[in-house]
Amino acid sequence: MRIIRYLQDSSAVTAAVTDDDQVFPLQDSSFMELVYRAREENSSPLDRVRRQVANARPLDAKWIHLPLLVPIEAPEVWAAGVTYQRSREARNYEATEGKLDAATFYDKVYVAERPELFLKSTQARTVGPKAEVCLRSDSNWQVPEPELGLVLDRDGSILGYTIGNDMSCRDIEGENPLYLPQAKIWRQSCSIGPAIRLAETVANPYDFELTCRIYRQGELAVTESANTGLLKRKLEELVSFLCRDNILFAGTVLLTGTCIVPPNQFTLKSGDRIEISISQIGTLINTVAPASP
C-alpha cells in the first residue's frame, strides 16, 4: 500500500494506492495525520487505510496521471553519504582527480563506526514529482543521486519508504570536503516522491531494485541499476546516529545514500529528464531547469 498526495480544485488530497494501482482518496489530510489517527485508534496506518477503502469507490484516473505533489511536506531532509561501495569510488575519484592511489577520508568514513550524515534540504527547497530540479550556476559537473528515502516519526521510527533525488555538484565536493553544503544544498536541489510505501507492507527493505534513467532531447543518455542489498550499513544504524543528540521533526526524510553514479564524463544539462524508479514505490520524474538568479 502506498500513500500519495495530489492537487484537486486547488486543494491537496491524500490518497491510498493499492498494489493493483487503484486510487482511493482518504479522510486524512496528510501522511502524518494518517499515522496519528491510526495511533489514536490503537491500530496501524495500513489497517486504517484498509478500513477507509473497504467500501469506497476508486478513482477512474490512473495515479501516475494525477497532478502529484510531494507525498509528504518534510520539514527537513537529511542524507547519508558513502554508504555504498559505488559512492565510495565516486567520491574518491572526485577528491583525487582520478588518481586512486591513496586512502582518503571517504575510505575512512566507509569503514568507520560513525556514518556521514548531513542536512540535505528543507521543505522550501524540496520539490515533488514532475517538478523541476535546478542546476547550480557555479558548477560544471552535476548529477542526480538516486536514493531510498526513509520517512521518520519524531522518535526515529521508520514509517515508510520513498524515492529521493539528491542533486549533487561533484566538482565542488571534490575540490574541498568543507564545501559539502554548497555541493548539496541550493534552490530545488532535492526531490522526493512519487509515493510513500507503508513500512509494514515491506518484507525486506534490503531488496529494493533501483534504476536511474536520464534522457537528453528524448534520447536515453544514462541508465544504471542497483539493489539496496549493497548497502554497507543497516537502516536503523543510520537512523540511530541521526537521532543522537538531535531533534527529529515528525515527517523528516532520511536519504540513505546512492549506489548509482552516472559515468564520470557525464553532467546534467538544462532540459534533461531524470527518472528514478524503486520497486514497490514507483518512478520519480523530474526535469532539469537552468540555474536561476
- Residue 173 included in any domain: yes
The CATH number of the domain where 273 resides is what?
A: 3.90.850.10
Question: Domain range holding 152?
Answer: 76-289
Query: Does 39 share its domain with 131?
Result: no
- Residue 272 included in any domain: yes
SS3 label, residue 274: strand
Residue with cell 533501483: 210
- Residue 169 included in any domain: yes
SS3 label, residue 143: strand
Domain endpoint, select from 18, 37, 65: 65
Q: Count other C-beta atoms under 10 Å from residue 275's C-beta.
A: 17
Query: Does 90 share its domain with 27?
Result: no
Query: Does 206 share its domain with 264?
Result: yes
**What pLDDT digit, counting tens, does each position of 163-217 carry?**
999 999 999 998 998 999 999 999 999 999 999 999 999 999 999 999 999 999 9
- Residue 70 included in any domain: no
When divided into structural domains, the chain yields a total of 2
Query: Does 43 share its domain with 81?
Result: no
The pTM (predicted TM-score) of the whole model is 0.94
Specify whether the CB–CB gap between 163 and 148 falls below 8 A.
Answer: yes
pLDDT over 60 (residue 100): no
- Residue 184 included in any domain: yes
pLDDT over 70 (residue 101): no
Specify the pLDDT at position 133: 98
**What pLDDT digit, counting tens, does each position of 116-142 carry?**
999 999 999 999 999 999 999 999 999
Specify the pLDDT at position 110: 82
**One-letter amino acid for residue 225 of the chain:** S
Query: Does 144 share its domain with 232?
Result: yes
Domain endpoint, select from 65, 90, 116: 65
Query: Does 135 share its domain with 252?
Result: yes
Query: Does 222 share its domain with 100?
Result: yes
DSSP 4-53: EEEEETTEEEEEEE-TT--EEE-S-SSHHHHHHHHHHTTS-HHHHHHHHH
**What pLDDT digit, counting tens, does each position of 22-77 carry?**
999 999 999 999 999 999 999 999 999 999 999 899 999 899 999 999 999 999 99
C-alpha span between 35 and 32 (Å, rounded): 5
Query: Does 229 share its domain with 258?
Result: yes
- Residue 203 included in any domain: yes
Helix 31-40, helix 45-53: angle, nearest 10: 100
Query: Does 123 share its domain with 8?
Result: no
pLDDT-derived band of residue 97, with 50, 70 and 90 as boundaries? low
Query: Does 278 share its domain with 182?
Result: yes
Helix spans in the chain (H): 31-40, 45-53, 85-96, 105-111, 170-175, 180-184, 235-243
Q: Is the dihedral of CA 198, 202, 206, 212 positive or negative?
A: negative
Q: Count other C-beta atoms under 10 Å from residue 190's C-beta.
A: 25
Query: Does 241 share its domain with 131?
Result: yes
Domain endpoint, select from 18, 45, 65: 65
- Residue 176 included in any domain: yes
Q: Is the dihedral of CA 196, 72, 46, 51 positive or negative?
A: negative
pLDDT over 90 (residue 108): no
Query: Does 41 share its domain with 87?
Result: no
